Structure 1
Amino acid sequence: WYMASAFGKLQSLSGGAKSSKTSQLFSSHPDTEKRMAVVSERAEKDGFTKPTK
């Protein structure tokens, strides 16, 4: 869950902006929103409890 929180923080710091299609085409990493969703799903599947703030 902490990795999902880190990606959420990065997303908020970037103002939620999406990358341009060109930068996505040449990027070696998925966008932050997708990465956040993937690690959240994995944490839930593995039985980790989401921390409270």
Structure 2
Amino acid sequence: MSETAFRAELQYQTAISIAKNLLSQGLLTEEEYAVIDTKLRADFEPTLGTLLSENDLIK
């Protein structure tokens, strides 16, 4: 994995972890979480994050 890909993966995983925490606290709805996940995957283009995501891409 290149340094660029690693950084993108790390940034995605960090951001999605925060979103999951907000979801578990009831501060985000499932729909809001799905939108955030889709936008984060589009922005960071993570290799592993895309494979492990619980959500389908929303367009």
- TM above 0.5: no
TM-score range, shorter chain: 0.3 to 0.5
Give the TM-score normalised by structure 2. Answer: 0.36
TM-score normalised to structure 1 length: 0.38
Higher relative CO (Cα under 8 Å, sequence separation at least 6) belongs to 1
Richer in helix (by share): 2
Q: Which has the larger radius of gyration?
A: 1
